[in-house]
Chain A
């Protein structure tokens, strides 16, 4: 397992797509700084205002960027045929998928939290004591949401890995991730009441505010899940996707 892990770590480090994905996630820091400077200047004119926190507003950018790392970890091997060489070197398919999951999980967990924290801190430093709406709470109050956001990124990357093992296609796996992240929650919002908040409470991106005990949105109001249940649901997304991915990798000819 340690050897398979070190191989997967090198695989990830030695392709350009990983750096594109990390770079695109890192744009959040740039956007976050630009955003805070901009709303700060507005606050100078208007006194106080209620702006969205950059680490929340730009979260989808980090989620979709880093999810592609998970998708490509497996679909690029299917696309090139490298999967056969990999499975010849590591015949145990569970070990191979677990090693990939560990590397993808670790890298996206660290990258997401670094990007989120840097954005968070930079935004507060730039904001100073201006009243921007998002900077009135203390770090310990914001911590649950930051942590849940970071975990959601890792979960999406692992979901991408699992769906990649199922579909074996980069396009199909990314589209499936997009569907879970944007399309399904979008449709859920427009369901007739009370189904909209029931279904929306279970949608992956909506678990993040529920873990932090925040409401889903002004339209949907409070979610139905307690923070603990929402956290378990978030982790379950990753576990279920990986289990299904393993089943397909294990059952099918390579």
Chain B
């Protein structure tokens, strides 16, 4: 059997934090060549799932595999998987260039590639500025540059459009689609349905850690008037934080 390439594969993935069941027996597969939208209300377990895939948190049971292997067993992981988790997670006193270079060096990536990625996300002009002074949108761009450093086949983005201006939102959308068109696997989480409708081809919906739906956008829009209606109908039973009695 050939090595599965560019695939994220979750097998009965479960994560418990004390009494909270954050991810509950979640199984699905993300395939290359299109953008897979990862949707769910706040607290549904999207970020936790991504941390489990990256080996940052240990699953209570089940497994998350990338290209058929556990993430922690990848020798140079940045060349296979890129991820943007929390845009604010960087040392404010470091320059954008040095921040990226710190990450790049761990995987044998040179400074030329760092400059190239800063150029690509539109931060070349502020490469030597401290990231502490960056706006949230600029940090999102820097986080995306970090994910792209190793030219990986698998990319995961956790709510990348938060804090971006309309230009930035448009830019992300085009970037996601072009990355997918290059044959990469893209898992893009969001709780914004409208944005997802314009970007994703496949949709995975979770609620309270459980899989609710795994379908193409087309399938969903034939069954419901709009993607938003589909989302609201499917997640109605699993809102953790929402207005009551609506």
Residues of A near any B CB (own CB < 8 A):
3-4, 6-7, 10-11, 14-17, 76-77, 80-82, 84-92, 253-254
With A and B bound together, what is the CA distance between A81 and B56 in angstroms?
A: 12
Count, chain B residues at interface, CB 8 A: 34
Contact B91 A80 (CB under 8 A): yes
Residues of A within 8 A of B78 (CB): 88-89
Contact A89 B72 (CB under 8 A): no
Residues of B near any A CB (own CB < 8 A):
51, 54-58, 71-74, 77-78, 81, 83, 85-86, 88-95, 98, 101-108, 146
B126 to chain A, nearest CB (A): 16
Contact A81 B57 (CB under 8 A): no
A223 to chain B, nearest CB (A): 41
With contact pairs A10-B98, A82-B90, A82-B91 given, residues A88 and B72 touching in the complex (Cβ less than 8 Å): no
Contact A91 B105 (CB under 8 A): no
With contact pairs A10-B98, A89-B78, A92-B72 given, residues A84 and B86 touching in the complex (Cβ less than 8 Å): yes
Contact A7 B103 (CB under 8 A): yes
Contact B71 A91 (CB under 8 A): yes
Residues of B within 8 A of A76 (CB): 91
A165 to chain B, nearest CB (A): 15
Closest to A15 in B: B93
Instruction: Pick the contact of A7: B77, B88, B102 (CB < 8 A).
Output: B102
Instruction: Pick the contact of A89: B89, B90, B95, B103 (CB < 8 A).
Output: B103
Residues of A within 8 A of B95 (CB): 14
With A and B bound together, what is the CA distance between A10 and B95 in angstroms?
A: 11
With contact pairs A76-B91, A92-B72 given, residues A85 and B57 touching in the complex (Cβ less than 8 Å): no
Contact B94 A15 (CB under 8 A): yes
Contact A3 B88 (CB under 8 A): no
Residues of A within 8 A of B101 (CB): 10
Closest to A87 in B: B56
With A and B bound together, what is the CA distance between A11 and B92 in angstroms?
A: 12
Residues of A within 8 A of B58 (CB): 253
Contact B89 A88 (CB under 8 A): no
With contact pairs A15-B91, A84-B85 given, residues A253 and B56 touching in the complex (Cβ less than 8 Å): yes
B227 to chain A, nearest CB (A): 31
5 cross-chain pairs, A with B, having the tightest CB-CB distances, nearest first: A81-B89, A253-B57, A7-B105, A14-B98, A91-B72
Closest to B150 in A: A89
B105 to chain A, nearest CB (A): 4
With A and B bound together, what is the CA distance between A92 and B78 in angstroms?
A: 13
Contact B56 A84 (CB under 8 A): yes
